[in-house]
Amino acid sequence: MNATDAFNIAPSLPGWLLYPSTLVLVILLCVVIYRSRVRQEAFAILVPWFRYVVSTYHTFTFQSAVAGLSWNALGSSSIFVLGLLVVNRRDFGLKLLFPVYCLMGVVTLSGLANRDIGGTIDVIVKLGFLVVLSLSFYEALGKVGEKRATARMLWAFVPPLLFQVLSVVFGIAKATETDGSTSYIGGYNHEAAFSIILATCLFVGAIATGLSRWIRFGILVACIVGILLANYRTTIIAVAPLILVQLNADILGRFSRNQRAAIGIFVGIISLGVLGLAAWVLRDRFADLATVLDSGTELMKRPELYTRTEVQMMSARPYIWSGYIYGYLDGGTLQHLIGFGGNSWDGVFSKYAHNTLVSSLYEYGIAGIIAYPYLWLSMLFAALRVRHSARAKLVAAHVSFMLLNMATMPHWMIEGDILYGLICGYTFHCLLRPETATSPAKARKAPFVAPRPAASQARRAA
């Protein structure tokens, strides 16, 4: 959880901006939490808010605190433990969580086989963090209803949006590590984590149907503009499916069902045109992507065989991936099966893999590259089974998250686990509570408890 292992420390916002802003944000959070009165909802709001605020103090919170753990890591671990007390214990038995538990099993097996306890605990805590946040959001949606829960979740994103506005107004920017382009990330440490925060806000804004049309539209536009200002190419590409589905859904929702087929064709054509225009505007930022695609199998070689020009392609991602892949191939039979253990790349490679599958191949072997796709596809298929007006947005969100994993590692960052936790929590709600599309759950306290027969309910009511 120590971000300094992968990223160089960037300067925070100056204290005369950061400290007064934080004080105002703390007061605002206290008001929101006090008005919640539901522990799961309060926890679901507190978790991202706390992470987003302490990350702005990264020059301090990323430093080592106890047993090699950073203050950030200790905070995230404490939230995980608190989540175990907040979430209803019965919900840990949801069948939808089985893929997460399988992944935890793979991580544990690899760690024990490689005698790596520290790295194993770190990864297990992150996955546990994902579970408790998913369940707290799922339970909050059931207790207070979609309109209230999703609208109030947006308060958690006030800090990063405010800090980014301040960084733009006062010209506080960061040069990206590879090409020197400018990123406005509100004094955060790295554009990867910050852009994922805005992607999370974009998702919550997309499902927040309780807001007025113009407020919701303003939030979505702010997120899109913020992601562009953060200037992290991976997130820009990854959120494209969610943005396209959201914009099409907003337009088609204004027409009757009989008109939507014809309007949908027209809107689809316009969307493709907008996508093409965006690709043209951002062509310089993605020029090396085309070069890599043209190179084909030429880049499939050991890292020491890369030329200086090839190393610089796509922010050095093919070069980084090559090191991990050949490091895995050079291992023994045990490592081929279950890898070198969680976080075993730290101390071996200078940068994290920038690809979840490549990293899991090195850390967890064949078992890892089975376990992660099993998790993603299970959640995606769950979203496809949803009978809810938000199904298309949910499917797009899962696709966006999988794309994000192809060129960065959201599961390694707590910010990424927050994004996936909220997506999964909303998926659980829409799939397991189809009768409560926009109101609190009334039928069942637990999704796997069968409802009482109608005759039994009638006798009890009499």
pLDDT at 401 over 50: yes
How do residues 71-111 score in pLDDT, each as one tens digit? 777 888 888 899 999 999 999 999 999 999 999 999 999 99
Structural domain for 100, as ranges: 3-446
pLDDT at 322 over 90: yes
pLDDT, residue 209, reads: 83
How do residues 148-164 score in pLDDT, each as one tens digit? 999 999 999 999 999 99
- Answer yes or no: is 351 within a domain: yes
CB 152 within 8 A of CB 32: yes
Dihedral (Cα; 214, 41, 424, 428), 10-degree rounding: -100
* Spatial separation of the C-alpha atoms in residues 277 and 296, rounded to whole Å: 26
Phi, psi of 345 (to 5 degrees): -70, -30
pLDDT, residue 274, reads: 62
pLDDT, residue 306, reads: 85
- Answer yes or no: is 460 within a domain: no
> If pLDDT is split at 50, 70 and 90, which confidence band does 453 have?
very low
How do residues 137-147 score in pLDDT, each as one tens digit? 999 999 999 99
Mean pLDDT (the chain) is: 83
How do residues 408-422 score in pLDDT, each as one tens digit? 999 999 999 999 999
How many domains would you assign to the chain? Answer: 1
pLDDT, residue 159, reads: 96
User: Between residues 389 and 122, which one has the greater pLDDT?
Assistant: 122
CB 221 within 8 A of CB 48: no
pLDDT at 311 over 90: no
pLDDT at 344 over 70: yes
Q: For the chain, how long is the longest CA-to-CA vector?
A: 81
pLDDT at 397 over 70: yes
CB 238 within 8 A of CB 404: yes
Averaged pLDDT, 349-373: 94
pLDDT at 294 over 60: no
- Exposed, middle or buried by CB within 10 Å (0-12, 13-18, 19+), for 199? buried
Q: Percentage of residues in the chain with pLDDT exceeding 90? A: 56
Lowest mean per-residue pLDDT among 108-117, 133-142, 246-255:
246-255
How do residues 25-40 score in pLDDT, each as one tens digit? 999 999 999 988 899 9
Contacts (Cβ under 8 Å, ≥6 apart) of 144: 38, 41, 440
Q: CA 221: distance to chain centroid?
A: 19
Averaged pLDDT, 189-217: 91
pLDDT, residue 33, reads: 92
- Answer yes or no: is 155 within a domain: yes
- Answer yes or no: is 452 within a domain: no
Position 51: which residue type?
A: R
pLDDT, residue 451, reads: 41
> If pLDDT is split at 50, 70 and 90, which confidence band does 262 have?
low
User: Between residues 439 and 243, which one has the greater pLDDT?
Assistant: 243
Residues in the chain, total:
462
pLDDT, residue 454, reads: 43
> If pLDDT is split at 50, 70 and 90, which confidence band does 289 have?
low
- Answer yes or no: is 142 within a domain: yes
Which residues on neighbouring strands pair with residue 69, listed in sequence order?
66
- Answer yes or no: is 392 within a domain: yes
> If pLDDT is split at 50, 70 and 90, which confidence band does 456 have?
very low
pLDDT, residue 314, reads: 76
pLDDT at 49 over 70: yes
pTM of the model: 0.86
pLDDT at 5 over 50: no
- Answer yes or no: is 457 within a domain: no
- Answer yes or no: is 454 within a domain: no
* Spatial separation of the C-alpha atoms in residues 322 and 363, rounded to whole Å: 15
